[in-house]
Amino acid sequence: MGVCTSSRPKKILQEIKDIDSQIQAIENKSKKPLPVVSEKQLYKRFWEVSQRTVKHPNGPEVEYQLMGHPPTFKYVVVFPFHSKTKQVTLIRQWQQGLNQWWWQFPTGGHKPQNKDELKSGADELSEEARLRGGRWYYLIDEGKQIIETSFSKNGFMPLLVVDPVKDPNPRNMDAEEEGLIEIHTVDVHVMQRLIETGRMVPSSVCCAMLALKKLADDDLFHI
């Protein structure tokens, strides 16, 4: 499975290059990562909790408790878009922390055995949305990730897949997810309303915003 790329006018490519140079200039002047004095694992199951001690610039050593999903601490979020109907496929899943059902896109860990995030994305699309195939796009630069929160080791890669089809032989769900996922295909405007009313998890909100921009840039959908 390969990734689709979009051809952009030279003017746009130059503008992007100029913006990247501005960002790099700011980051080059910024402070460097703090020295890590020690780090130890406190707990590990589905989540890993660790304690990291760092040395602050003004002298003291400070301890922080961090969380993340081992072993890669990276996951994928997939935005499945159906171009003919202008709809998206979402899942409604029980969220452990709030003990409530929230909306999100197919989401799951980037497995070490997978060559890249696209393969992990295809696995989650089959497992959670019962879909496969389609045209795939990275929504941020390949090899990058968006951090989850400041106290999390996790980062995620948002992906777009256009026109996936029903998977006749979907992957098995994880045991802890059985019976806790609903699949819904809705209009884009319904998805937007779910975001506006605070019903969608943050990583999926981020993925949706990037996907809508990508679809507009490629003239596939305009709000």
* Rounded (10°) angle between helices 202-217 and 188-196: 140
Those residues whose C-beta lies under 8 Å from the C-beta of residue 136, and which sit 6 or more positions away, are 1, 2, 3, 4, 118, 121, 122, 159, 160, 161
Which of residues 179 and 114 earns the better pLDDT score?
179
Q: What is the CATH number of the domain that holds 164?
A: 3.90.79.10
- Same domain for 191 and 137, yes or no, is yes
Give the pLDDT band of residue 2 (cuts 50, 70, 90).
low
On whether residue 98 sits in a domain, the answer given is yes
Among 67, 86, 113, give the residue marking a domain's end.
67
Q: Work out the mean pLDDT of the chain and round it to a whole number.
A: 91
On whether residue 25 sits in a domain, the answer given is no
Above pLDDT 90, what percent of the chain? Answer: 65
Give CA–CA dist 164/108, Å, rounded.
18
- Same domain for 191 and 176, yes or no, is yes
Among 46, 67, 88, give the residue marking a domain's end.
67
Q: How many residues does the chain have?
A: 223
Q: What is the pLDDT of residue 26?
A: 85
pLDDT at 30 over 80: no
Give CA–CA dist 209/211, Å, rounded.
6
On whether residue 112 sits in a domain, the answer given is yes
On whether residue 110 sits in a domain, the answer given is yes
- Same domain for 180 and 128, yes or no, is yes
Among 67, 91, 109, give the residue marking a domain's end.
67
- Same domain for 91 and 152, yes or no, is yes
Give CA–CA dist 169/88, Å, rounded.
21
- Same domain for 79 and 40, yes or no, is no
Above pLDDT 70, what percent of the chain? Answer: 96
Q: What is the pLDDT of residue 5?
A: 63
- Same domain for 141 and 52, yes or no, is no
Give CA–CA dist 33/101, Å, rounded.
37
- Same domain for 52 and 136, yes or no, is no
b (16+ CB within 10 A) / e for 19-58: eeeeeeeeeeeeeeeeeeeeeeeeeeeeebebebebeeee
Q: What is the pLDDT of residue 85?
A: 95
- Inter-residue contact 79 to 208 (CB < 8 Å): yes
- Inter-residue contact 88 to 79 (CB < 8 Å): yes
pLDDT at 71 over 90: no
Q: What is the pLDDT of residue 178?
A: 80
- Same domain for 142 and 101, yes or no, is yes
Q: What is the pLDDT of residue 7?
A: 63
- Same domain for 169 and 188, yes or no, is yes
Q: What is the pLDDT of residue 107?
A: 95
- Same domain for 187 and 123, yes or no, is yes
Give the pLDDT band of residue 6 (cuts 50, 70, 90).
low
> Mind listing the pLDDT tens digit for each residue in 143-178?
899 998 899 999 999 999 999 999 999 999 887 778
> Mind listing the pLDDT tens digit for each residue in 77-106?
999 999 999 999 999 999 888 899 999 999
pLDDT at 1 over 70: no
On whether residue 8 sits in a domain, the answer given is no
CA atoms within 13 A on the CB side of 14: 3
Poorest-pLDDT segment among 121-130, 174-183, 186-195 = 174-183
Q: Which domain covers residue 113, as residue numbers?
A: 73-217
**Phi and psi, residue 6, nearest 5°:** -110, 140
- Inter-residue contact 159 to 117 (CB < 8 Å): yes
- Inter-residue contact 134 to 161 (CB < 8 Å): yes
Please give the tally of structural domains in the chain. Answer: 2
pTM of the model: 0.89
On whether residue 29 sits in a domain, the answer given is no
71 DSSP 8-state letter:
T
On whether residue 2 sits in a domain, the answer given is no
- Same domain for 59 and 93, yes or no, is no
Is the alpha carbon torsion for 141, 48, 106, 92 positive or negative?
A: negative
- Same domain for 105 and 175, yes or no, is yes
On whether residue 10 sits in a domain, the answer given is no
Q: What is the pLDDT of residue 125?
A: 97
